[in-house]
Chain A
Amino acid sequence: GESVGLHLPTLSVQEGDNSIINCAYSNSASDYFIWYKQESGKGPQFIIDIRSNMDKRQGQRVTVLLNKTVKHLSLQIAATQPGDSAVYFCAERHNDYKLSFGAGTTVTVRA
């Protein structure tokens, strides 16, 4: 079946280092991908998105890379800060207008 998944359920990173969170997807028809951040007790918050006609997009301290050949998506966070500690989800939009989410990666920033 179709699924969106993250390679690792947890990631521990030293404050100030760069973080890379990976996501694999299986639906080649997906045309839009989103990264969300969810802090404890809150709803998911949009971080950055990328459409399938792009392979890279940069935001403030974040970069999303899309490799359609291997169906891989990654989120890079530069100079990780304590406030970046959260669960990160990737999501893909199918051509039937549904969003599918991965199980999430819990990022813990060490001081």
Chain B
Amino acid sequence: EAQVTQNPRYLITVTGKKLTVTCSQNMNHEYMSWYRQDPGLGLRQIYYSMNVEVTDKGDVPEGYKVSRKEKRNFPLILESPSPNQTSLYFCASSSIAGGPADTQYFGPGTRLTVL
């Protein structure tokens, strides 16, 4: 089954404790992206990647890091989480056959709470 998976689905942590949210897709997609979703603000792009070893900032990259060492994986790293990073996070992937950021398939989401 074609899908995007994220882990963990739920996470409660404390300020300053480094964490990683994993994302994996099995569709051989070149393009992958991370979003955060906050009430009233919709989805905002954090980082995206056009292919292996190619990443770029989205609209709200501060406080986040990503890496793309393999085509299928795109982990999101919070080196020193802060309470304003409490949010619902989505990973997405797409083929670039129709152009970058074409029809994106989303993971189920990771709800992060930073105390």
Interface membership of A76, Cβ < 8 A: no
Closest to B43 in A: A101
Residues on B with beta carbons closer than 8 Å to the beta carbon of A93: 99-102
What is the 8 Å Cβ interface bit string for chain A, positions 38-60, against chain B (1 contact, 0 not)?
Answer: 00011111100100000000000
In the complex the two chains form, what is the Cα distance from A102 to B101 in whole Å? 16
Residue of A45, A46, A89 near B43 (CB, 8 A) is A89
Q: A98-B45, A103-B40, A104-B42 are in contact. Are A44 and B102 (CB under 8 A)?
A: no
Interface membership of B44, Cβ < 8 A: yes
Residues on A with beta carbons closer than 8 Å to the beta carbon of B102: 32, 49, 93
Query: Is there an interface contact between B101 and A43, defined as CB atoms closer than 8 Å?
Result: no
Residue of A32, A43, A97, A98 near B106 (CB, 8 A) is A43
Which B58-115 residues sit within 8 Å CB-CB of chain A? 58-59, 90, 92, 99-109
**Total interface residues on B, using CB and 8 Å?**
28
Chain A: minimal CB distance from B55 (Å):
12
B-binding residues in A (CB < 8 A): 31-32, 34, 36, 41-46, 49, 89, 91, 93, 97-104
In the complex the two chains form, what is the Cα distance from A49 to B102 in whole Å? 9
Residue of B41, B48, B92, B101 near A32 (CB, 8 A) is B101
Chain A: minimal CB distance from B4 (Å):
8
Residues on B with beta carbons closer than 8 Å to the beta carbon of A42: 108-109
Interface membership of B24, Cβ < 8 A: no
Chain A: minimal CB distance from B50 (Å):
7
Chain A: minimal CB distance from B24 (Å):
14
Closest to A9 in B: B40
